[in-house]
Amino acid sequence: MKEIIEKLEYFGISKNAARAYCALLKMNPATGYEVSVNAEIPRSAVYNVLNKLESKGLVSGVGNKPKKYIPLPPSSLLEQFDHVHQESLGDLKTSLENMDLDDEAFDFWHIHGYKNLIFNLKETITNARGKLFISAWQREIKKLEIELDKAQERGVELTLFSFCRINKQYGETISYNLDENDLRKIWAPKVIMVADHTTTIMGSAKNNESSRAIKTQNEAITEIATNHIVLDITLASNRLDINTDSVVKRILKKPDIDLDRLLNI
């Protein structure tokens, strides 16, 4: 019951109104007095609550002396919420599209909290069409499995680097295979993701609301993030004695450039 009330509040229904609606679902038709008792709403307030529910079409009043109330069936309630919010979203979309906005003002999107970080990572993976580069720890990779599987299925080229042991390989995966719990004693988890050389997410991956990250389409930041992943993979190739030339080339925006020749190696 508590969870239902919280969800109804999310959709703009007051706590007392949500309690009254839930009470009516359990027993109807019911008088205002009965709703007051069952929903634990003061009698002085219950009729005002029921009138508001009635004006929104969430309950119907029948008869009089005493008037009794019947709730809108749950299926109809959900349908009504869906219709109202789709209509509101459509109006909002139109209004925002008609605004004269400076795109540069949205160059950096600050991501607050771990849940928002995971949401944005999933969204970026879902929108990726060509290439996806990720530097992350096992915990975050695990949370992104469904989206990564789908990206791989639609042909997105995946490149993954991690200091941790990764339980599931994606595309080209380079890892030091270190124990994640041991690593946490030394470093705080971080994540870098670059999608299609255009969108970058980077920052803290601490599992709390104080963690901070950014999401951007700034070209310079995206290049820095990409080069950071390339450097980590290159260092891993030296330390692990593996050849990562083909992996690095698939990350570079201009893979035809011979880095060894430029460095006179």
pLDDT, greater one: 247 or 263:
247
Residue 216, CB-side half-sphere exposure with 13 Å CA sphere: 19
The candidate with the shortest Cα–Cα distance to 29, out of 74, 68, 66, is: 68
Average pLDDT over the chain, rounded to whole? Answer: 88
Note the pLDDT tens digit of each residue in 186-240.
999 999 999 999 999 999 999 998 899 999 999 999 999 999 999 999 999 999 9
Whether the CB-CB separation of 165 and 194 falls below 8 Å is answered with: no
Confidence class for position 89, pLDDT limits 50, 70, 90: confident
What type of residue is 174? Answer: I
What is the CATH number assigned to the segment(s) 108-262?
3.30.870.10
Residue 104 has pLDDT above 60, yes or no: no
234-252 pLDDT, tens digit each: 999 999 999 988 888 888 8
| 15 has pLDDT over 70 | yes
Q: How distant, in Å, are the alpha carbons of 10, 11, 82, 254 from that of 21?
A: 15, 13, 18, 61
pLDDT at 53 over 50: yes
CATH number for region 2-75: 1.10.10.10
Q: Average pLDDT of 162-175?
A: 93
List, by residue range, all CATH 3.30.870.10 domains of the chain. Answer: 108-262
Q: Where in the chain is the domain with CATH 1.10.10.10?
A: 2-75
Q: What pLDDT, on a 0 to 100 scale, did the predictor assign at position 63?
A: 83
Cα distance between residue 139 and residue 189, in whole Å: 9
Q: How confident is the model at residue 262 (pLDDT cuts 50, 70, 90)?
A: very low
User: What is the greatest pairwise CA distance in the chain?
Assistant: 96
Q: Which residues pair with 192 in a beta bridge?
A: 135, 202
pLDDT score of 79 more than 70 = yes
What is the helix (H) or strand (E) element at residue 215, kind and residue range? strand 212-216
Q: 259: helix, coil or strand?
A: helix
pLDDT band at 106 (very low <50, low <70, confident <90, very high): low
pLDDT at 158 exceeding the cut of 80? yes
Evaluate whether 192 touches 134 at the Cβ level (below 8 Å).
yes
Is the pTM higher than 0.85? The answer reads: no
Q: Which residues are CB-contacts of 114 (< 8 A; sequence separation ≥ 6)?
A: 205, 206, 207, 208, 209, 211
